[in-house]
Amino acid sequence: MTKPTALVVGVGAEQGVGAAVSRRFAAEGFHVLVTGRTQAKVDQVVATIRSSGGSAEALVADATQEEQVIALFDHAMAPGEGFDPISVVVSNAGDNRPVPFREVTAELFEAFWRVGCFSGFLVGREAARRMVPLGRGTVIFTGASGSLRGKAQYAQFAAAKAGLRMVAQSMAREFGPQGLHVAHVVVDGGIDGARLKTAIPEIVAARGQDGLLGVDAIAEMYWQIHRQPPSAWTQELDLRPFKEAW
């Protein structure tokens, strides 16, 4: 028996969405290609998965670099003996911080776009090239509040995430009828993960229990999207804490 394979791109800290999604699919018997820019971080996520009896491999790649994404998918389609070509791809790369609009340089705006939108295009394009001919598979993009609205000091982030949403919609309309399930998840609210706890710990404390999005809860929804029957596919899903104003 061979294991199905999932590719998760944009994995950082162990208490983050990418790592949680990797653990969730590994728990279901997938071989997970845990991909991020920092070797130590992806190694830690893989070690945790293996310690629980799961199967995972650490890969280092920058999702904004076309040649690295192409090489990543070359490997994902032939991940080794005992593993099937990828049937799930998660595009999770992103960056988020406020910058006053008049202080946004052209270079900064482009950098946000490359991480938040262009990387998703590269991952999505390669997923479609490899998976559509197989007539099956799931591609999930991690979106944000900025996918739907631009807040003050977040123009650079919102522009990138809104663009990513359109990439996901266009892919879904083109490839859904060919068997590829493309979904976009709007993560609306603060995430109870390493980034927020390190940068703004007082916000985490103030929100209280279930006041922030739990990374494992988000990962569970990604798994449920993959499990949906073709007669009732989700293209876009909003996730927010019950306390979040929207």
Query: What confidence tens digit (pLDDT) does each residue in 162-221 have?
Result: 999 999 999 999 999 999 999 999 999 888 887 777 877 887 788 888 889 999 999 999
* Per-residue pLDDT at 194: 78
Stretch 77-95: mean pLDDT: 96
pLDDT digits (tens, 9 = 90+) for 100-116: 999 999 999 999 999 99
How confident is the model at residue 197, as a pLDDT? 78
Q: Determine if the pTM surpasses 0.75.
A: yes
Assign 225 a pLDDT band (cuts: 50, 70, 90).
very high
**One-letter identity of residue 109:** F
pLDDT at 192 (0 to 100): 87
How confident is the prediction for the chain on average, in pLDDT? 96
The radius of gyration of the chain's CA atoms, rounded to the nearest angstrom, is: 17
> What domains sit in the chain, N to C, each tagged with a CATH number?
3-229 (3.40.50.720)
